[in-house]
Structure 1
C-alpha cells in the first residue's frame, strides 16, 4: 500500500465516496501506475502478481469514463458500453462485486454472463438494457450468436488474467469477441505473463499501449511465509491435515482431484471442522453457496482444486495448504496467492510424502521459493504454531442443511437414472447399510416385502403369479407411470427401486434374483448383471 490517495490520482468524487465507504482511500502500486493512463483513455498492458489490486485498477476507469458521458443517457437493449472478459465464473462474479457499486455511483448497471446456469436471467438483463457486462468467453459467444448481445457500441474492453485464458484454451474465442468491438475503443489487458499467445493478442488489439509492471511476473509475495512439511505416510498426512485445518482463521486446502476435494471436505465436516468444497463438478448455485459460506465464516475451510486458484478473492485467508502439491510452479504461486493478499500476511504449507521430495524441490526452485523441508507430525511445534488457537468443535448439520447439499448442490447428477441409483443406495443404508442376510446392498428379509409375506411386483401382484404370466406371454409395454409397491418394508421405510431384487421369504437368506423381470420406466427390463 502506498501513501498516494485515489483523489491525487484523478479519481472522480462520486467514486471517491464509494471507495471511502469501503475503507479504501490510498492506492496500491499497480493502481498508482495505471490509473493516470487508464483515466486518460490510453490502452494499458498491466502485469502484476496476484493480489496486487488489479480489479480495482480497471474497475475505476471503467466506471469513471463511461459514467460521465452516460449520465442521463438512454440504454439500448443488447448493446453494452463496457465489457470485461474473465476466464472463470468465480472471477467474473467477484469482478462484478467490485465494479457494481462503482457503476451504480453514475446510475449504471452491470451484469455477469457465464455458463453453468440457465441463460434466461442473463438474456432478460440484456433485453432490459445493461451498461457493463462481466463475461466468460464461452457463454458470451453463445449469446452473441443468438442475437442477444451486440458489441458494436463497446467503448472500453478489459481482458483480465489473459494468461489464464490462454491456459484454458480461450484465446481463439477471445479473439473472435474482440473482433466484434470497435477498433478505436480503449482496451486494457492484464496478464501475469505474455506467453502462450498472449503477446499476439497484445500486438493485434492494443494500440500504442502503455506497459506497467508491478514486480516480476509470478514472483512470490514478500508477506507470505512458505513451509515444507515432510510426513511419514498417508495416515500421518491425514492427521496433519486435520490438525492444520482446525484453527480459527480461514484456510484453503488444495487437492489435485475433484473427488478428493469433495471427500476431504466431508471428512473435515464430520470431524467438527465446517468445510466446503469448490471444484468443476459443482453446479453454479452450489459453487455460489459454498463460496458464500466460506466468505461469511460459516465454513472456515475451503477444499478446492485448481479451479479456485484464480479468481477467488476472499479476504483474511491466513493459511494455504497444498495437500497435494501441484504439477507446475505457476499453479503453486497462483494457489498460494489466495493468502497474503492486499498487503496482508499469510502462510503456505506444502505436504510431502515419501517419494515426492525431488518433484517438490524442483517445483519450489522454479517458483523461486526458499523453504527448508522439515519432518513433522501433527504434534510438532511448527504445526501448532501455524494452527494457533483451535476452533471449537462444530457438530455436523444434517446433510440436507449442509452448504452445497441442497437441490442442485454437491455436483451430483440430477438425471433420472442417477436419482434412481441414489435412492437405491440410500434405501440400502436405511436397512442397515451392511451387506447382510439379504445378499448385496443389505437387501434381505423384509426388503420389498414383510417377513413371511409373499414377494410382490410394483402392482402388488405376487411375484410367482407374475413369473407364470411372463412364461405364457411377454408382457405388453405399459406406458402408465410405474407404481410403488403396496407392501411397505419391514422397517417402515418406503421401498426403493434398485438394480437388484431379493426374495423376501421367511426370516432369512434372501436370494439375488438374477435375470428376474423388473419394470422400470413403464417397460420390462432384465435385472441383474
Structure 2
C-alpha cells in the first residue's frame, strides 16, 4: 500500500513548494526512464532488421533529405527576381522567374545568363536593333550564349517573350561570320526560319529585316496566298535569310527557285503549331534540303511528343533545352477570364450585348475569335448589318486582304476584328483590351494562345468566352486553366465534369496508349485445338 500524501491545502507555503518539487522531479525521472526504454527498443529492433530492410530504410531517409534540399533550392530559385526589361516584354507573369536549363555542358561557366547586351560581345551593328531595350529578355539572356557557341537549341517560351530576336540575332551573326565580315552576299541563303502561318512569317520578317539593316543582312519572306513573282525576284537577287511557311517554301524548292544547300542555321518557330496543322511532311522535306552540318533551333510554346520526336531526328543527341516559365499549360495571369455557358442560338445576341459593353462607347480594340472560315464571314456580315465597323482575317481571304485588315486593326482605324485561329499565335497586336471567344477552339492550348492576345506588355486584359455543350469534352482542361490562374470557375461549367481527356491529334485522333520505339514486338500465339491434344 502506497504512502498517503498530505493534502497540499493543509501544508505551509515552504512545505507545499517542497512537495510540488518532489512530485515534478519524480514525474520527470519516470518520463526519462520511459524515453530511454523506448529508444533501446528502437535500437534493438534496428539491430534485428535484415540487411535489405535496413538498406531500404536508409535509402528512404536519404531520399527524404534530398527532396527537402531540392524543395529549398527550388524555393530560392522561384524567389529570384528577373530583371525588368525597358520595352515590350509581353505576357509577363510570376512564372517567368522559373528557368530550367538541360543538356550536355549546359551549366558551364561560359554559358552563364547575360545581364547586359555588352556581355554577348557581339558587334555594335548587330546589336543596333536592341538599343531601345535596357537588357536582354529572359529567353535571350539564356539562349544567346548557347546559340553563339553553335549549340543545337530548344526554347520553350510563351509568345511575346522576345524569342524572335533570341534566334534572330544569332542568325544575323552567323551570316556575318560566314561572309567573314564582308557585305557581299553569296548566291544561296545561309539561314532559314520556318513559321506555321503567313502572318507570323511576315511578323518575323519585319523584325529581321529591321535588325539586319545596320549590318547589311537581307531577308525575304516566302508565303502563299500571294503572287510568287516578287518573292522569286528577291531570291534571284540574293538573300541571306529565308523566312517562310512550309507550303510555299516547298513549292519554290521543287520549282528549282530556292536552294537551301548552304543553310547552316535553321529555325522552327511555333514548332508545335506547325506539326499540329499537318505540316510535318513539308517540314521534314525542307530540313532535308539544308546543310547536313547545320545548327538546329526549335522554339515552341509547348513540347508535345510529336515535336520531341522531330527534335530527336534533326538535332544532336544532347541539345540544350531552356524553359522560361513552364512547359505546363498556363494562361496569362494578367487576363481576367470570364466563361459563360450558353446555347448556340444565344451567342449572336450575347456578342452584341458584350460589344455594347466593352467597345461601343470606348472604341477600344476588341478581337473576336471564331472557329471556322464560314463562321467568320457570317458573324462579320451580321455585325455589319447591325451598324458595326468590323474587319476580319481568315483562310478564305487573299493575303493582301488579310494584311490590310490586320493593318487597319493595329492602327485603330477598324478596332473590331473577327478572326480564326490564324491570329491566335505569334501576332504582335498592341493594346488589345478585350478578347471574345465566340466559338471555343478545338484545343485548350489554342484557348490559352487566343486570350494571350490581350494583357500584353504588363497591361491588364479581359477574355470573355462562350462555352456550349458541344465543347463539354474540354471542360476539365478549361477548369484546370481557370484554377491555375486563380479565376472564377462558373458552376454551369462544373456540371460538364472535370475529367481531362487524353490528348488527341487533329489528324490522327486519340492516342490511347503511347508505345516507345524500342518496345518489344508483339508475339503471335497459336492455340492448339483441344481435339488434337494428347
Residue 38 of structure 1 and its aligned partner are, at CA, apart by: 1.4
The residue number in structure 2 matching 1:239 is 352
TM-score by length of structure 2 reads 0.65
Residue 172 of structure 1 and its aligned partner are, at CA, apart by: 1.8
The residue number in structure 1 matching 2:194 is 85
**Structure 1 stretches of 5 or more lacking a match?**
377-529
Aligned to 1:130, what secondary structure does the other structure show? coil
The residue number in structure 2 matching 1:479 is none
Alignment equivalent of 2:325, drawn from 185, 198, 215: 215
Superposed counterparts of 1:24-423, under 5 Å = 24-70=133-179, 71-77=181-187, 79-207=188-316, 208-217=318-327, 218-230=329-341, 233-234=346-347, 236-243=349-356, 244-246=358-360, 247-352=362-467, 355=469, 358=472, 361-367=475-481, 368=484, 370-372=486-488
Distance in structure 2 (CA, Å) of the matches to 1:196 and 1:333: 19
Query: Quick one: structure 1 residues 307 and 371, their matched pair in 2 at CA, closer, same or farther if it must change by over 3 Å?
Result: same
Query: Quick one: structure 1 residues 235 and 185, their matched pair in 2 at CA, closer, same or farther if it must change by over 3 Å?
Result: closer
Distance in structure 2 (CA, Å) of the matches to 1:89 and 1:275: 21
Q: Could you tell me whether the CA contact under 8 Å between 1:228 and 1:352 is conserved in 2?
A: yes
Kindly indicate which of the two structures has a greater share of residues assigned to helix: 2
Aligned to 1:13, what secondary structure does the other structure show? coil
Residue 314 of structure 1 and its aligned partner are, at CA, apart by: 1.0
Q: Which has the higher contact order (CA 8 A, sep 6+)?
A: 2
Distance in structure 1 (CA, Å) of the matches to 2:156 and 2:238: 33
Structure whose CA Rg is larger: 2
Distance in structure 2 (CA, Å) of the matches to 1:375 and 1:238: 21
Deviates more, 1:112-121 or 1:217-226: 217-226
Question: Aligned residues, how many?
Answer: 372
Residue 245 of structure 1 and its aligned partner are, at CA, apart by: 3.7
TM-score by length of structure 1 reads 0.66
Distance in structure 2 (CA, Å) of the matches to 1:235 and 1:337: 23
Residue 254 of structure 1 and its aligned partner are, at CA, apart by: 0.5
Distance in structure 1 (CA, Å) of the matches to 2:258 and 2:147: 25
Query: Quick one: structure 1 residues 248 and 67, their matched pair in 2 at CA, closer, same or farther if it must change by over 3 Å?
Result: farther
Aligned to 1:347, what secondary structure does the other structure show? strand
Residue 97 of structure 1 and its aligned partner are, at CA, apart by: 0.7
Aligned to 2:126, what secondary structure does the other structure show? helix
Residue 34 of structure 1 and its aligned partner are, at CA, apart by: 0.9
Report Cα offsets for 1:133-189 as digits up to 9, x if no partner. Answer: 101111111111111111111121111111111101111211121122112221111
Residue 272 of structure 1 and its aligned partner are, at CA, apart by: 4.8
The residue number in structure 1 matching 2:116 is 5
Distance in structure 2 (CA, Å) of the matches to 1:195 and 1:203: 13
Residue 370 of structure 1 and its aligned partner are, at CA, apart by: 4.7
Query: Quick one: structure 1 residues 179 and 372, their matched pair in 2 at CA, closer, same or farther if it must change by over 3 Å?
Result: same
Report Cα offsets for 1:102-126 as digits up to 9, x if no partner. Answer: 1122111111111111211111111
Query: Quick one: structure 1 residues 270 and 19, their matched pair in 2 at CA, closer, same or farther if it must change by over 3 Å?
Result: farther
